[in-house]
Structure 1
Amino acid sequence: MTDATMEIRMQVMWNRLISVVEEQAMTLLRTAFSTSVREAGDLSAGVFDPQGRMLAQAVTGTPGHVNTMAEAVGHFIAEIGRENMFPGDTYVTNDPWLGTGHLHDITMVSPSFLGDVLVGFFACTAHVVDVGGRGFGADGKSVYEEGIQIPIMKFAERGRVNADLVRLIRANVREPNQVVGDFYSLAACNDVGHRRLTAMMAEIGLTSLDTLGEFIFTRTRAATLDRIRALPQGAWDNVLDTDGYDEPVRLAARVSVAGDRVHCDFTGSAPVSRWGINVPVIYTKAYACYALKCVIAPDIPNNWASLAAFTIDAPENILNAPRPAPVSVRHVIGHLVPDLVLGALAKALPGQVLAEGAAALWNIHMSVRPAAGAAGRRAEILMFNSGGMGARPGSDGLSATAFPSGVMTMPIEATEHTGPITIWRKELRPDSGGDGEFRGGLGQIIEIEPAPGHEFDFSAMFDRVHHPARGRDGGQPGAAGRVALDDGTVLKPKGWQHVPAGRRLILHLPGGGGFGDPANRPEAARDADLTKGYVIKGPDT
């Protein structure tokens, strides 16, 4: 076989492998019980070689899930041991330090055998609606309060599900049918991947993935290193202030480029918090690497080889919180890590990096119940919402778009279907994008009311209320967020709070920062903003 023929053959197999992981992810989307998975795509799916190195990921998925999953498979292999792995096995954990950073994410790993030979692994993750404890919120003082902890263990052995584990889960969560249903969806997702992979290998005549893996990793690594070598050499610092829980939290990063290596150091960030906003380093690394790839190698496949080009270091602090620190809403601080890293990169690559955006999702967990003396039903409802992205060099920021998480918008009909609430308003928020040559993306205004005869407690997991997104290269900051009731009562951006019957919760989501001098914004663009209602006040009002 000639080199050219081999190259074509490998490329065809690479494309087939991508199809395998895409079908794996679609299985999870189509069978999941939780709206956060089936509607928002808060998941990941991927295939790994026998050493636990990620070969390919599904396009559907968040960086926080994908890049932590890429590291987690190695932890599964070390804990279970190859001698204890059998066809039909599935392994599970929600360990924040070995999985995805908090207890609400379930990671499942399944070995893929061709006959009796281990040829790889499939892994997937998903956010489930409840894991018990205090619920999805920042109020816990340790991980022990935040829900049930599942160490790395077998969900199924040789195809037989661990019934005792299922009973234990059911006894510890508020929505047992949804949660257990998602466990089975995750297991099915990996099983579909395994069946498609072994069918592909049988069709092509492969007995292992070694040659294909070498093809993928060699080319990915070479392409990534070429991009890194083209960067300016040096080190650049950035700091970013966030709302924190009850006091501001400062994040700090230094990005260094030396030869074919890019390194992020988070020394100088705030100490570990007593609240559940801490971030295990596996999650910090996931989003730092994502930010670096967005600028340096956005078109190069995300796999073990491309991720290996970026290294992360952090002393014990809020971005490297040790066990048993509370970490339930680690995504709030974690989603700000890309803005932190991109701010440092912007100094190395002036004019090439987008402005800061809303960053952290404005997730809200509502625990709905009948009001005193009223009949009705209880429900746990999780809703994902997005503010505006920062303006980009050459174009306005995207409005109501989840960056860096990449999750999809959850339809209000699907959210209302899960429990007794009414969403009266969900619309773009005028004047929330920062002014500039390119305008920041708009946030949203969302208005939620418990159904008649009901009330709800909600967990606020919001940021950019006191520290709005900063503009870049002369661009103005985006609008800050706001949390209040319809009677004007101002609420906190974090923590469990109450919405009584008959009242409405109104969320004003933050906008993205602008890019470039506002004086350079074309008049046609300003006229379009006014016509579309994106801007009401105008630049001189």
Structure 2
Amino acid sequence: MAKLTEIELQVMWNRLIAVVEEQAQVLLRTAFSPIVREAGDLSAGVFDREGNMLAQAVTGTPGHVNSMAESVKHFIKAFPVETMKPGDIYVTNDPWMGTGHLNDFVLTTPAFHRGKLVGLFSCTSHIMDIGGIGFGPDGTDVFMEGLYIPLLKLADQGKLNETLMAMIRANTRLPIDTEGDVYSLAACNDVGCQRLSEMMEEFGLKDLDVLSKHILSRSKAAVLEAIAGLPKGKWSNTMTVDGYDEPVTLACTVEVTKSGIHVDYTGTGAASKRGINVPLAYTTAYTVFGLACIVGKEIPNNAGSLSPLTVSAPPDTIVNALKPKPVASRHIIGQMLPDVVFGALRQAIPERVPAEGTSCLWNLNVRGQTDEAGLGNYGFMMAVTSNGGTGARPMKDGLSATAYPSGVKGTPVEIAESITPLIFWRKEFRVDSGGAGATRGGLGQVIEVGSRIGKPFDLLAAYDRIDHPPRGRDGGKNGAAGAVALKSGKVLKGKGFQLIPPDDRLVVMTPGGGGIGDPVKRDRKAVEKDLAEGLVTPKGAKVYGA
């Protein structure tokens, strides 16, 4: 065919992004687990034959997609592209070759066009239960945390690995949901493969080589151009978080050069004995996402745009945990890392960096028995996704009850109540929780939940920012600290399994984001608006001079 023009290549690039978004939507609409179908805890992407990510779906989480990008290379190493056949599907949940913990299944499917392998589609979603002690941080090694699947074939030329599926069903409290989610992952990749072949037929492409080179080179050049406008140098920051049984120090040094940005986590605390450790792939995923939010945020995410952003961490620190360290709740530390990086960058570009926010998800991981039998699952287990406030931005307030940097949506109460024997008595903004400032931090929320069938249920707590709330900056106040308790008054731990009695209620108060700037300098109309909307009380408004 004739040489492709710049306009044709750009059209094809946009079409490729549309293909992976359809791939993600198939997963979203067919998944059994509410954390996927309601909250969007997934990722989807297309890769060239060398394992370079060419496009990712807008739907999904950065922790999944940026670490999934590395897992495709592991699949190619284990199953060389020359050996791949139509109908093959590969699977793993290896935390160090996948997306950081056993609850995430990664499926990769080779894509063929006119009998020739032209690329690969990969996807990830959170599987709610994969056995072990459950989705919480109490494990002391990865083997306690559930079924561990190495790099395996889920299907061989269209024939399903029934032995593997039987093993998966036998090692979960939710066999119906888990089996359905695996099929959903496989289906979304199949749709991606079909749409890619249709696209290539439409544009007369025999392979993706020229398009791949265009996407990767243009994206890298665009990121380097954005970096060229930044001050050059090194800046360091430290942040203390609650940890499991003792505080954890997160430290980073960010170096900006003309060839890229490197983040090094030397000085960060040692790996924990409990499941809040982070494999390096997940550390890298959230670190580069934080950087990308500041540098070249309009540039599509792919291997080219990610290549100038690099990460290192000393082995066996909490951000580079080695097998067999427990990692089930790796998001607690991993999702704090953009804030750590922002704290370094604020010294160079304060006008572009927010204050600290809640950052890590404040999910209600609940488990227990139902009053129904014969449905195929053993009781219920659900992650009701929720969060606190984000940090104030230099020119805008923080966002309330928003999952940043994760990006997952909050689980609707109606959905949670329809599939669990729980009732939500309260779910509302937490007044006065946003850190005061010239720009205010986002508000947390108050959630009150109890059993509606007179049975206790487990809380698999995995929270932070209780002892060390999000910090304000430049005179801005800290966000409110998080809290977990029973309505009867008993204070609960921020991490670990705890029983909620049937005659009591769980009360969760998520943190607020930190503020930026002297509160007295806040616009009077903004203060009045907060008062009118009930986000700030008259007492809380006194800090603004109101």
TM-score of the aligned structures, taking structure 2 as reference length: 0.96
Q: Deviations over 1:71-100 (max 9, x none)?
A: 111011001222431101111000000000
**1:51 matched to 2:50:** yes
Q: Is the 8 A contact 1:368 1:450 kept in 2?
A: no
What's the CA shift for 1:405? Answer: 0.3
Matched residue SS, 1:495: strand
Which residue number corresponds to residue 467 of structure 2?
Answer: 466
Q: Give 2:334's aligned residue.
A: 334
**2:402 maps to what in 1?**
401
Alignment partner of 1:367 is 2:372: no
Aligned residue identity for 1:149: Y
Per mean C-alpha deviation after superposition, the further-off stretch among 470-479 and 190-199 is 470-479
Segment of structure 1 superposing worse, 12-21 or 247-256 = 12-21
Q: Do residues 384 (structure 1) and 385 (structure 2) align? A: yes
Give the whole-Å Cα distance in 1 for the aligned partners of 2:114 and 2:490: 64
Pairwise CA distance, 1:42: 0.3
Aligned mates of 1:452, 1:69 — CA distance in 2: 40
Q: How far apart are the structure 2 equivalents of 1:69 and 1:398?
A: 28
Q: Report Cα offsets for 1:201-225 as digits up to 9, x if no partner.
A: 1111100011111111111111111
Aligned runs of 1:296-311 on 2, under 5 Å? Answer: 296-311=295-310
Aligned to 1:535: 536
Preserved contact between residue 44 and residue 124 of structure 1 (Cα < 8 Å): yes
CA deviations on 1:462-495 (whole Å, 9 max, x unpaired) are 0100100011222111000000000000000000
Alpha-carbon distance, 1:136 to partner: 0.3
Q: Deviations over 1:432-470 (max 9, x none)?
A: 000000110000000010123211011001010010001
Q: Who is 1:281 aligned against?
A: 280
Query: SS in structure 2 opposite 1:22?
Result: helix
Partner of 2:374: none
Residue 261 of structure 1: how far off its partner (Å): 1.7
Distance 1:244 1:270 in 2: 10
Equivalent AA in structure 2 for residue 38 of structure 1: R
Write the distance in 2 (CA, Å) between the matches of 1:308 and 1:530. 46
How far has the Cα of 1:417 moved from its partner? 1.5
* Cα distance in 1 between the residues matched to 2:2 and 2:90: 41
The answer as to whether partners of 1:450 and 1:456 remain within 8 angstroms in 2 is: yes
Shift of 1:506: 0.2
Letter of the 2:435 partner, please give it: G
Match of 1:445 in 2: 446
Q: Could you tell me how far apart the structure 1 residues matched to 2:172 and 2:108 are?
A: 22
- Equivalent residue of 1:415, what SS? helix
Describe how 1:103-118 pairs up with structure 2 within 5 A: 103-118=102-117
Instruction: Kindly indicate whether the alpha-carbon contact (under 8 Å) linking 2:370 and 2:421 is maintained by their aligned counterparts in 1.
Output: no
- Name the CA distance, whole Å, in 1 between partners of 2:160 and 2:25: 23
Q: Runs of 4+ in structure 1 displaced over 2 angstroms?
A: 81-84, 537-541
Code of the aligned partner of 1:425: R
- Whether 1:487 and 2:466 are equivalent positions in the alignment is no
* CA shift for structure 1 position 312: 0.7
Distance in 2 of aligned mates of 1:398 and 1:363: 17
Q: Distance in 1 between matches of 2:370 and 2:416?
A: 18
Q: Secondary structure at the match of 2:456?
A: strand
- Per-residue CA deviations over 1:144-186 (Å, capped at 9, x if unaligned) read 0000000011111111110000100111100001001000000
d(CA) in 1 for partners of 2:541 and 2:401? Answer: 22
Distance 1:258 1:381 in 2: 45
* Secondary structure at 2:90 match in 1: strand
Q: Which residue of structure 1 lines up, in the alignment, with residue 75 of structure 2?
A: 76
State the alpha-carbon separation in 1 of the partners of residues 476 and 248 from structure 2.
24
Q: Secondary structure at the match of 2:205?
A: coil
How does the TM-score come out when normalised to structure 1? 0.97
- Check whether the contact 1:140–1:276 (CA below 8 A) recurs between aligned residues: yes
User: Does the CA-based 8 Å contact 1:378-1:419 persist in structure 2?
Assistant: no
Q: How does 1:24-63 map to 2 (within 5 A)?
A: 24-63=23-62
User: Counterparts of 1:132 and 1:351 in 2: how far apart (Å)?
Assistant: 46
**For residues 10-21 of structure 1, what are the structure 2 equivalents within 5 Å?**
10-21=9-20
Deviation at 1:2, TM superposition (A): 9.5
1:236-257, Cα deviation, whole Å (9 max, x unpaired):
0000100101111110000001
Q: Distance in 1 between matches of 2:378 and 2:236?
A: 52
How far apart, in 1, do the equivalents of 2:7 and 2:225 lie? 23
Per-residue deviation, 1:40:
0.2
Deviation at 1:260, TM superposition (A): 1.7
**Aligned match of 2:325:** 325
Pair 1:347-2:347 in alignment: yes
Give matches, 1:198-347, under 5 Å: 198-316=197-315, 317-347=317-347
> Is the 8 Å Cα contact of residues 111 and 117 (structure 2) preserved in structure 1?
yes
- Where 2:328 maps in the other structure, the secondary structure is coil
Contact 2:424–2:447 (8 Å) recurs in 1: yes
Alignment-mate amino acid for residue 297 of structure 2: P
Cα distance between partner residues in 2 of 1:469 and 1:28: 34
**Alpha-carbon spacing, 1:129–1:298, altered in 2? closer, same or farther (3 Å):** same
Q: Does 1:137 align with 2:136?
A: yes
Equivalent in the alignment of 2:515: 514
Aligned 8 A contact 1:122 1:193 in 2: yes
Map 1:425-444 → 2, pairs under 5 A:
425-444=426-445
2:191 aligned with 1:192: yes
Mapping for residues 159-178 of structure 1, pairs under 5 Å = 159-178=158-177
Query: 1:457·1:496 contact (CA, 8 Å) conserved in 2?
Result: yes
- 1:23 shift after superposition: 0.6
Q: Secondary structure at the match of 1:338?
A: helix
Does the 8 Å contact 2:426/2:448 carry over to 1?
Answer: yes
Q: CA deviation at 1:344?
A: 0.5
Shift of 1:370: 5.8
> For the Cα contact (< 8 Å) 2:173–2:378, is it kept in 1?
no
Gaps of 5+ in 2: 372-376
2:123 aligns to what? 124
The alpha carbon displacement at 1:379 in A equals: 1.2
Counterpart in the other structure of 2:424: 423
State the shift of 1:328 in Å.
0.3
Q: Which amino acid aligns with 2:443?
A: L
**Helix, strand or coil for the counterpart of 1:381?**
strand
Whole-angstrom distance in 2 between the partners of 1:359 and 1:26: 26
Match of 1:23 in 2: 22
| Aligned AA (2:99) | T
Q: Distance in 2 between matches of 1:449 and 1:414?
A: 15
Identity fraction in percent:
54
RMSD over aligned Cα, in angstroms?
A: 1.4
